[in-house]
Amino acid sequence: MSHPTKITFFKRFMTDIQNGAKTITIRDFSESHYRVSSIVDVYALEDQSYIGKIKVLAVKPINFDELNEKHALQENMTLCELQSVIRDIYPGIEQLFVIEFELV
Ligand SMILES: CC(=O)Nc1cc[nH]c(=O)n1
């Protein structure tokens, strides 16, 4: 399987990505196939505007109920906010993946 070279984020997350406050994204299986060390183009989901590039540092499986304060900090959210955001985006999905990244 080829590895994706594009990722989309909601516009509401862009400031945190661009200022380095958000350093992970939590995705479902369908969006988990990023290769570690790859450079990925970032677009806004709503209008596909180009935002910049990130480097994928790690991709690790996680269950929803394993999300913790460290993940919340890496998302620049409270744990309660993070759980709510993930439940909204991926309702009923327990198997998730933490994609760690840095801006390049
Ligand atoms: C577009 C989209 O799904 N964006 C997401 C999903 C989960 N986490 C995140 O940071 N961004």
Provide the 8-state DSSP code for 84.
Answer: H
Which residues are part of the catalytic machinery?
A: 22, 25, 75
What tokens were used for 93? 């999905």
**90 CA to centre of ligand 1 in angstroms:** 9
Residues 6+ apart with CB under 8 A from 23: 74, 100, 101, 102
* 1 falls within a domain: no
User: Which residue range forms the structural domain that includes residue 19?
Assistant: 6-103
ipTM greater than 0.85: yes
44 vs 68: CA distance, rounded Å: 26
Collapse the DSSP code of 79 into the 3-class scheme (helix H, G, I; strand E, B; otherwise coil) and give the result: helix
Quote the CA–CA distance of 98 and 104 in Å, as a whole number. Answer: 19
Tens-place pLDDT, residues 42-79? 999 999 999 999 999 999 999 999 999 999 999 999 99
The per-residue pLDDT for 2 is 86
In a domain, 27, yes or no: yes
- Please tell me the distance from the alpha carbon of residue 52 to that of residue 24, in angstroms, as a whole number: 16
Q: Ligand 1: which residue has its CA nearest to atom 2?
A: 9
Atom number in ligand 1 closest to CA 27: 7
Query: Rounded to 5, what percent of the chain is helix, strand, coil?
Result: 30, 35, 35
Q: How far is the CA of 57 from the centre of ligand 1 (A)?
A: 17
Q: Is residue 99 part of a domain?
A: yes
Residue 72: inside a domain: yes
Verify whether ligand 1 is closer than 6 Å to residue 13 (CB atom).
Answer: yes
Residue 93 inside a domain? The answer is yes
The pTM (predicted TM-score) of the whole model is: 0.96
| CATH number where 94 lies | 2.30.130.30
Domain count, the chain: 1
Going by C-alpha positions, the residue among 7, 28, 26 that lies closest to residue 92 is 28
